[in-house]
Amino acid sequence: MTKNPYPYPSFKFRIEIGGITVAQVSEVTGLQIETETETYEEGGVNDFVHKLPKRTKYQNITLKRGITDLNDMWKWYDNVVSGKIERKNGAIVLMDVTGKDMWRWNFSKAYPVKWIGPDFKADSNTVAFETIELAHHGIKKG
C-alpha cells in the first residue's frame, strides 16, 4: 500500500468524548502542543547560545457546534459549575474524503472550563452556536 503524499482536507472530522454524544461540531481549535525553552549562554564561546527544553504545555481544546436538543455538553459543564468535575478521555479524528479514519489525536482527562452561548441577532438567519473549552492532561497521536 502506498502512502498518500497529498494533504487531507480539514472539513472531514469527528469528535469522540467518552459517554457524550458530540454531534455536528463545526470547528475544533486548540490542537496545539508547545515545549518551552530556556536560553543558556555558554561561557568562553560568546556567539553560541544553548536552547534547553523545559516543560511542555497543552492548549485547551475548543469545540464549536450548532445548538441542538442534545445537551450532553451543557450538562457536563453545568456539573463542573456545581463542583462535580468528571474527567473524560476523547479524540479528534481526521478522515479522508471517503470517511476513512486517517489521523487520530487522543486527549486525556478532559473537563470543560468555559462555555460560550450563541450570539442573537434579529436580522440574521444563521445557526445558533455554542462553544465549549476543554482543559486536558495531554494529546497523543493514536
Read off the pLDDT of residues 44-97 as tens digits, 9 standing for 90 and up: 767 788 899 999 999 999 999 988 888 888 999 999 999 999 999 999 999 988
- pTM for the whole structure: 0.85
Residue 51 within a domain:
no
Residue 41 within a domain:
no
Residue 130 within a domain:
yes
Tens digits of residue pLDDT in 10-59: 888 999 999 786 767 899 999 999 999 999 887 776 778 889 999 999 99
Residue 97 within a domain:
yes
C-alpha–C-alpha distance, residues 47 and 118, integer Å: 53
C-alpha–C-alpha distance, residues 103 and 95, integer Å: 7
Residue ranges making up the domain that contains 126? 13-32+59-141
**What is the number of structural domains in the chain?**
1
Residue 91 within a domain:
yes
Residue 40 within a domain:
no
Split at pLDDT 50, 70, 90, the class of 2 is low
Residue 42 within a domain:
no
- pLDDT of 110 strictly over 80: yes
Residue 16: all three cell numbers together: 469522540
Looking at residue 27, its pLDDT comes to 93
C-alpha–C-alpha distance, residues 116 and 113, integer Å: 10
Looking at residue 1, its pLDDT comes to 62
C-alpha–C-alpha distance, residues 78 and 81, integer Å: 5
Q: Report the pLDDT averaged over residues 91-114.
A: 93
Q: Closest by alpha carbon to 61, among 19, 21, 106? A: 106
Residue 8 within a domain:
no
Looking at residue 41, its pLDDT comes to 85
